Amino acid sequence: MKAVSAAERDNGDWVLALGGDGPESESARRDLRQLFVRALRRVLASRGVAEDLCEDFAQDALLRVRERLSSFRGESRFTTWALSIATRIAFDELRHKRWKDVSFDAIVEDSRGPVAFESRAEASQERGLVHDKVMGALAEVIENRLTDKQRAVLSAELQGMPHAEIAVHLGMKRNALYKLAHDARRRVRAHLEAAGISEADVQGMFD
């Protein structure tokens, strides 16, 4: 195999080199790792992420990219595709660090009780009626049309907990969790529509 520098490699060169063994593969792995570290450092430095952590992310990303090499469809530059994987790994880990000490039980404890809303600011009588109608429909669907698990997920989501963390706490795969959350959103949407609540009603509440 011909020796190719990082800048000269096209998508096919990257896939071929990373999928193989030998000096060209080693060189491609080194180049890709360096590219990950440089790119992650630039973006994550402003978030206070230490350089050695970027090195760890790059190492994990290199392994993941090689595992997924056959799924690269050539719809972008190879390096962009590889960077998307490195980005997912880095941000997942950073979110995990941020949330690992937060009690999931405490986050979702509140989800079991009845729905209560912040008191609304003074508004015209007409807007007040729309507001009460929307809030009533929301309370009804959350309390009576969602499962306990859907309510827990909704509560955790609304408090900003990432799906990856919620999935771990519930012992679910991330895609199964997405489906559960999606089904919950669909129920909310369907209930609001059935209650005759329009987009304009919703929009008007926040204008």
Partner 1 sequence: MRLRKEQVRALLEASRATRDVEIDCEEYLSRMAPYAEARAAGLPPPQGAEKVIEHERLCANCREETAALVEMIAQAKG
Among 84, 86, 201, which Cα is nearest to 135's?
Answer: 201
Tell me: does residue 179 bind partner 1 (CB under 8 A).
yes
Q: Are 155 and 108 in contact (CB under 8 A)?
A: yes
Q: Which C-beta is closer to partner 1: that of 25 or that of 87?
A: 87
Which residues in 62-121 contact partner 1 (CB under 8 A)?
71, 73, 75-77, 80-81, 83-85, 87-88, 91, 95, 110-118
Q: CB under 8 A: which stretch of 11-19, 25-33, 35-43, 96-104 binds partner 1?
A: 35-43
Q: CB under 8 A: which stretch of 12-20, 21-29, 55-63, 157-165 binds partner 1?
A: 157-165
Q: Which of 17, 32, 58, 142 binds partner 1 (CB under 8 A)?
A: 142
What does the alpha-carbon distance between residue 74 and residue 12 come to, in Å, rounded to a whole number?
9
64: left (phi over 0), alpha (psi -120 to 50) or beta: alpha
What does the alpha-carbon distance between residue 100 and residue 122 come to, in Å, rounded to a whole number?
40
Q: Which of 30, 96, 98, 189 binds partner 1 (CB under 8 A)?
A: 189
Largest CA distance in the chain: 77
What does the alpha-carbon distance between residue 13 and residue 5 come to, in Å, rounded to a whole number?
10
Chain-centroid distance of CA 179 in Å reads: 14
Question: Could you list the residues that contact partner 1 (CB under 8 A)?
Answer: 39-40, 42-43, 71, 73, 75-77, 80-81, 83-85, 87-88, 91, 95, 110-118, 134-135, 138, 142, 151, 154-155, 158-160, 162-164, 174-175, 178-179, 182, 185-186, 188-189, 192, 199, 202, 205-206
